[in-house]
Amino acid sequence: MPASTRSEQVVLLLNVDSHRRIWSLPDGAQDAIAARFPQLRILKAHDAASLRAHLPVADILYTWHLPPALFSLARRLKWLHTPAAGVEHLLHPSLRQSDVILTNCRGIAGDAMADHAFAMMLALARRLPDSVRLQTQQRWGQDLFWSTSPAPFTLNGKVLGIVGLGGVGIELAKRASAFGMEIVATRRRDAKPPRYVKKLLKHEQLAELLAESDFVVITAPLTAETRGLMGPRELRRMKKTAYLVNVGRGEQVDEGALIRALREGWIAGAALDVFQREPLPKNSVLWRVPGLFITPHYAGTYPEHLARATDLFVQNLALYLGGKPKKLRNIVDKQRGY
């Protein structure tokens, strides 16, 4: 039955609480939703027990996570919205094969992630991690930078290869263009490249991008095609003077191969914000690999994230309750994975 003809019966379940305030539903958001949509019955899950109790009556769910065991309880669920961009953790077979509409918040973290990736590139080019280490040692290491390789360099004239020219990749390309970089990128779907992208390649042409680029930045979603994307063969195809930056997903890079690549000099360095296992264990070899710059998976995080995510959800909620579920923004193709 269309949502518009039974709107008085629609139950919305909010499950956007976290021990980190920055990832929780903004103050006043629930009251604002209730005031705008009085026909809704709004429930809120604060923990696993309340989520389990409320799921059987929920028509709409706003949540970070919904594991398979709990999805089986959501017998009335028609639409699931997540504040995240990545949805691989939600696409278990039962949800993928269901009629439940899945929407995400891709695009709202594009500027933050592009800033972070570009900051990593600048840090590697100017050897800022080495300066931080020298500072902790109270050492004036100016001579070190000119007696060891690589010497600090500028980004102007360098080639940036963006793997996955989506929202984040486009924002990154804008920033790189302003610094005088030449940009090549891959994209699964055919499209006319933005004016600041010199060459747009297909996913199957990744080898060409790797061979040309001074920086390779992964901004693609995690799918069957991008899982294990950067292995030994791909890393060997990069220039020995090139750098790898990953702000996508940890599973896209073979960490063992990357460790070997950095130790043996296949590439000049790397920066990772995402890892196969998170939090990164204290005993991980990655902490000690020379030439690797690590940040703890916060590239897409910024203070306004949940407010923007909830604004997008509310816009979609108005469409859904107005009987336009096919018009929702950011509907995920559950078979493709993004």
Asked if residue 186 and residue 82 are part of one domain, the reply reads no
The verdict on residue 70 lying in a domain is: yes
- pLDDT of amino acid 18: 87
State the catalytic residue, choosing from 278, 288, 304, 308: 278
Q: How many domains does the chain have?
A: 2
Asked if residue 118 and residue 100 are part of one domain, the reply reads no
- pLDDT of amino acid 3: 45
- pLDDT of amino acid 4: 42
Q: Which of 56, 59, 31, 55 lies closest to 45, judged by CA?
A: 55
CB 230 within 8 A of CB 252: yes
The verdict on residue 35 lying in a domain is: yes
Asked if residue 155 and residue 42 are part of one domain, the reply reads no
pTM for the structure as a whole: 0.94
Asked if residue 117 and residue 99 are part of one domain, the reply reads no
The verdict on residue 266 lying in a domain is: yes
The verdict on residue 134 lying in a domain is: yes
The verdict on residue 205 lying in a domain is: yes
Banded pLDDT at 7 (limits 50, 70, 90):
very low
Contacting residues for 34 by C-beta, under 8 A, at least 6 apart: 40, 42
Mark whether 297 is an active-site residue. yes
Rounded mean pLDDT of 132-158? 96
8 has a pLDDT exceeding 70 = no
- pLDDT of amino acid 92: 95
Q: Which of 73, 86, 68 lies closest to 45, judged by CA?
A: 73
Question: Which residue bears the tokens 């360099």?
Answer: 153
Rounded mean pLDDT of 61-86? 96
Asked if residue 265 and residue 306 are part of one domain, the reply reads no
The per-residue pLDDT for range 252-301, each reduced to its tens digit, is 999 999 999 999 999 999 999 999 999 999 999 999 999 999 999 999 99
CB 275 within 8 A of CB 255: yes
Rounded mean pLDDT of 61-67? 96
What average pLDDT does the chain have? 95
The conformation of residue 250, written as its DSSP 8-state character, comes to G
The verdict on residue 52 lying in a domain is: yes
- pLDDT of amino acid 108: 96
CA–CA dist 63, 71 (Å, integer): 12
The verdict on residue 332 lying in a domain is: no
State the catalytic residue, choosing from 81, 127, 175, 249: 249
Asked if residue 129 and residue 29 are part of one domain, the reply reads no
State the catalytic residue, choosing from 76, 126, 260, 297: 297
Radius of gyration of the chain (CA): 22
Alpha helices in the chain (DSSP H): 29-36, 48-54, 68-71, 93-96, 110-125, 128-136, 142-147, 167-178, 206-212, 232-237, 255-264, 305-321
Mark whether 116 is an active-site residue. no
The CATH number linked to 45 is: 3.40.50.720
Mark whether 277 is an active-site residue. no
CA–CA dist 293, 316 (Å, integer): 39
318 has a pLDDT exceeding 70 = yes
Backbone angles phi, psi at 252, to 5 degrees: -85, -15
Domain of 312 in residue numbering reads as 3-108+302-327
- pLDDT of amino acid 190: 77
Asked if residue 276 and residue 213 are part of one domain, the reply reads yes
- pLDDT of amino acid 30: 97
> Which residue type occupies 295?
T
- pLDDT of amino acid 229: 98
CA distances from 331 to 10, 55, 338 (A): 20, 21, 8
> Which residue type occupies 3?
A
Contacting residues for 239 by C-beta, under 8 A, at least 6 apart: 211, 213, 214, 267
Rounded mean pLDDT of 243-252? 98
Asked if residue 121 and residue 89 are part of one domain, the reply reads no
The CA angle 165-223-283, to the nearest 5 degrees, is: 100
CA–CA dist 257, 243 (Å, integer): 14
Asked if residue 77 and residue 42 are part of one domain, the reply reads yes
CA–CA dist 159, 327 (Å, integer): 39
Asked if residue 252 and residue 181 are part of one domain, the reply reads yes
The verdict on residue 125 lying in a domain is: yes
